[in-house]
Amino acid sequence: DIQMTQSPSSLSASVGDRVTITCRASQSISNYLNWYQQKPGKAPKLLIYAASGVQSGVPSRFSGSGSGTDFTLTISSLQPEDFAIYYCQQSYSGRTFGQGTKLEI
Amino acid sequence: EVQLVESGGGLIQPGRSLRLSCSASGFSFGDYGLSWVRQAPGKGLEWVGLIRPTFYGGTTEHAASVKDRFIISRDDSKGIVYLQMNSLETEDTAVYYCTRERPHYGDNVFDHWGQGTLVAVSS
């Protein structure tokens, strides 16, 4: 099974900061990597697909990059509504989520 | 508008069975794969399993943690996907989400999610 490891597990930041979250796969997954945002009590929301595609309706401050085993999610200028938990997910073989990164004020 | 609505959750004793349903609308149901994803209280997301579109044979895959206990099926005529959960364990306590899978050049993306249904396994 493919394991997904996110870092950091938690992150404190301020409004206006640039933030980067990393996701590493235990083997190459090409670009079959997606990012989701989850707020308390809500279902996750798709942000980024195929490593770098921005889902329709997602603000342009969100971007993704990477291929193979190493991927990043970047938020260019944090807004108050961005404080949430972020998950990466691979679909190269089965489906696996990372453990999540909690972004706190 | 794409909508996914889960139902069937509740309190159930260990060892018993429960069937969750996910009713879909707003898209051509038979053309899409669907996955179930769960989230234990205070924990992260865990993929449970998927069922492919009918034109791919409607085949299924399951996570190792539920294989041989959970079965996913679909009824394209009703637009419903099911999760049959057998031999339930306390560790299966979670909110269960139904998700639509959108294919993108080999990648499969969970682009729409239901609101989730809570399954609590306890004696």
Residues of A in contact with B96 (CB under 8 A): none
pLDDT 10s digits, B58-99: 999 999 999 999 999 999 999 999 999 999 999 999 999 999
List residues of chain A with CB under 8 Å from any CB of chain B.
Answer: 1, 30-34, 36, 38, 43-46, 49-50, 53, 55, 85, 87, 89, 91, 94-100
- pLDDT band for A105, please (50, 70, 90 cuts): confident
pLDDT 10s digits, A32-49: 999 999 999 999 999 999
**Residue A54 token pair:** 């921005």
Which residue does chain B place closest to A94, by CA atoms?
A: B61
**Nearest chain B Cα distance for residue A16, angstroms:** 27
Residues B53-76, buried b or exposed e (16+ Cβ, 10 A)? beeeeeeebbbeebeeebbbebee
**Residue B41 token pair:** 């209280």
pLDDT 10s digits, A54-104: 999 999 999 999 999 999 999 999 999 999 999 999 999 999 999 999 999
d(CA B2, CA B16): 33
Contact B50, B59 (CB under 8 A): no
Which burial class, exposed, middle or buried, applies to A54 when counting CB atoms under 10 A from its CB (0-12, 13-18, 19+)? middle
Rounded to 5°, angle at Cα B113 from B111 and B118: 155
**Nearest chain B Cα distance for residue A100, angstroms:** 6
Peptide bond into A8 cis (omega under 30): yes
pLDDT 10s digits, A52-64: 999 999 999 999 9
Query: Count H helices, E strands: chain B?
Result: 0, 11
Which residue does chain A place closest to B104, by CA atoms?
A: A50
